[in-house]
Structure 1
Amino acid sequence: MKFRVGTLVLLLATLATTQSHAQSVKWVLQDFPPAQMPINGRPGLGFHDEMVRILVANWPEAEHQFVVANSARTWLMLSDKEEACYVGALRNADREKVAYFTPFAVLPPLQLIVRKDTMSKIPVNADGEAMLSELLANPALRGLLVDKRSYGKDIDEIIAQRARKEAIQIVQPGDLGKNLPLMLAANRGDYLLEYDFILNFHKKQNYPQLEELTSLPVAGFSAMLTTNVVCPRSPWGQKTIRRVDAILVKTADSNSIRASVESWLSVDTIKRYRADMNAFAQRRKKPSDPALFN
């Protein structure tokens, strides 16, 4: 009897120790429909949400928590090396200093969103593509951008190097900028950078004023953008991003993320970028270069 009691105590102690050492992962969710749409503080209906669910389902031994934050707070958490990761980040030089990245999807390029009555003022090339540097130099026009949001490494650099700092109004919304199209329609700015599918999503939400908005491709930026899972550049973050990368390799053939992304894209967009999406899907079947996580 004493042996059985002692064995039970030992088993309980071992179980308690195992549970106390279970890795805890906090997933940051952002209000950025239709990419991410948290419901009651948990992953919702967006394709970023689907990626979070896949990671959680394939990591049952970890304790998963969720927190909703805007872009500025998300990157403050990562800079402070909090034990938190985020699904849906673009790379740039500043972000690479504070976070590890591993890719999970590709998206069509950002577009310049303008009011139809402003179209004639936008500098364009012979192909009808907006010329961003010239636009930023125009004193008569002002853009709307979200604080701490990345628009892709190259566009971020052009924006940072602009001669006229007042050319851009930096907005600090509680989300990634879902209300910026409404601000643009209300003449509180002249243009913004956004994905076409996000503008189209908002147009379907019973905002008739958004019908006054249209989009233009940006000259020199026709390539797809790679969106990533990011974790802080710390020992915890290094261990976590390696596990995330392994899960992405394991689940690369499921196609659920690609299907979730494509559910928000137009048929024409899917046709145009199918080869790029196929190529990414093949690359994602292989682990990332370990040197990226050093």
Structure 2
Amino acid sequence: MLHLLFFIAVFFMSSVCHAEDTAARGENTITWMLADFPPLRIISGPFAGQGPSDMILELMRRELPEFDHKTVAANVARTVEEIKNGKQVLTIGLIPTPERNEIVLFSLPCALAPPVALIVRQEDLSKYPATVSLGSFVKTDTLGISLSRSYGAAVDAALRQIMPDDNVFIDSSDKLFENLAKMLLLKRIDGVLGFPFEAMFNARTSQSADRIAIIPITETGQYVIGRIAAPKTEWGRKMISRVNEILLRHRPEPSYRQAFERWLPPANVPDFNRIYDAQFLEQQ
């Protein structure tokens, strides 16, 4: 009988210790959910791992060595849903919106991008004015956008006015631009919203730079700021506090800024640096 009681006690203590160890490992795990978003996040090809989001991910891994860091490829909709459900998930470069502010904790700014533009086929460029209104565009042509992606407050507001519309195609893949760019060249859609540098990166790597044109849109003119996002939980609050400490120390460093600069057209670099110093580093 004593042997049986001893065995039960040992088994119980082992189970408790195992459960506590499992819980501790879970508490110390960060799952980074990231979309394939070159050149901000480059998953494959000769430039794999060289995007600004890749730099930030490596920075966080280096500065938070006590955590087990895992990465998962996911579109924005899935990532936001996991954060909403309180999972121990972080993502890089998410753009705040009124809806997201209800369910997401945001860090200080971590990413800066030039204004969104309309990308069309070069052969169709003469059809359009020098600056295009999205509302006018979808009256005659099909626009491609990515599911749950934010294009900045002004453009998001314009899209809400337009949708739902049969001339707006929504791509749900985890590739925020590449699939839509292919559809554009195949003439399945007539225009794609995106950052100019992501359009040019995609065009160069797919040998199609001479087949696309970039047109400014009337609904935007401001640079877009992205942040690291976490769930509205105690774990999320602790992570955002740690992340902010890291960003405050590293964003002023030349290497952080240069991770973005290297993908910009040279003509855009002076304006980028002006916004970086005046707004990006100062904004809370």
CA distance in 2, matches of 1:237, 1:164: 34
Alpha carbons of structure 1 residues 181 and 280: separation in structure 2 relative to 1, 3 Å: same
CA distance in 2, matches of 1:24, 1:163: 39
Shift of 1:70: 1.9
AA matched with 1:276: I
- For 2:229, the equivalent position in structure 1 comes to 230
**2:125 matches 1:119:** yes
Alpha carbons of structure 1 residues 150 and 281: separation in structure 2 relative to 1, 3 Å: closer
Q: C-alpha offsets along residues 36-73 of structure 1, whole Å, 9 cap, x if unaligned?
A: 12369xx8221101011111211122222222212222
AA matched with 2:259: S
- For 2:4, the equivalent position in structure 1 comes to none
CA distance in 2, matches of 1:222, 1:79: 30
- For 2:261, the equivalent position in structure 1 comes to 262
Shift of 1:117: 3.4
Matches within 5 A, 1:138-177: 138=139, 140-162=140-162, 165-177=165-177
For normalisation by structure 1, the TM-score amounts to 0.81
Matches within 5 A, 1:250-289: 250-280=249-279, 282-283=281-282, 288=284
Moved over 4 A (4+): none
**2:186 matches 1:186:** yes
- For 1:7, the equivalent position in structure 2 comes to none
Shift of 1:273: 2.8
- For 2:8, the equivalent position in structure 1 comes to none
More displaced 10-residue stretch of structure 1: 59-68 or 189-198: 59-68
CA distance in 2, matches of 1:181, 1:188: 10
Shift of 1:259: 0.5
CA distance in 2, matches of 1:204, 1:39: 14
Shift of 1:220: 4.2
Shift of 1:163: 6.1
Shift of 1:133: 2.6
CA distance in 2, matches of 1:178, 1:121: 24
Secondary structure of 1:188's partner?
coil
Structure 2 gap segments, 5+ residues each: 1-16
Q: C-alpha offsets along residues 111-150 of structure 1, whole Å, 9 cap, x if unaligned?
A: 111113333443x4xxx221223223x1x21101111111
Alpha carbons of structure 1 residues 203 and 163: separation in structure 2 relative to 1, 3 Å: closer
Give the RMSD, CA atoms, in angstroms: 2.4
Is the 8 Å Cα contact of residues 93 and 153 (structure 1) preserved in structure 2?
no
More displaced 10-residue stretch of structure 1: 184-193 or 170-179: 170-179
CA distance in 1, matches of 2:224, 2:35: 19
- For 1:134, the equivalent position in structure 2 comes to 136
- For 1:9, the equivalent position in structure 2 comes to none
- For 2:6, the equivalent position in structure 1 comes to none
Secondary structure of 2:162's partner?
coil
AA matched with 2:247: L
More displaced 10-residue stretch of structure 1: 107-116 or 165-174: 165-174
CA distance in 1, matches of 2:228, 2:163: 33
Shift of 1:164: 5.7
Matches within 5 A, 1:66-105: 66-102=71-107, 103-105=109-111
Pairing partner for 1:110 from 105, 109, 116: 116
Percent identity at matched positions? 25
CA distance in 2, matches of 1:280, 1:56: 26
Report the count of equivalent residues.
Answer: 262
CA distance in 2, matches of 1:144, 1:191: 6
AA matched with 2:137: L
Is the 8 Å Cα contact of residues 152 and 225 (structure 1) preserved in structure 2?
yes
Alpha carbons of structure 1 residues 163 and 205: separation in structure 2 relative to 1, 3 Å: closer
Secondary structure of 1:57's partner?
helix
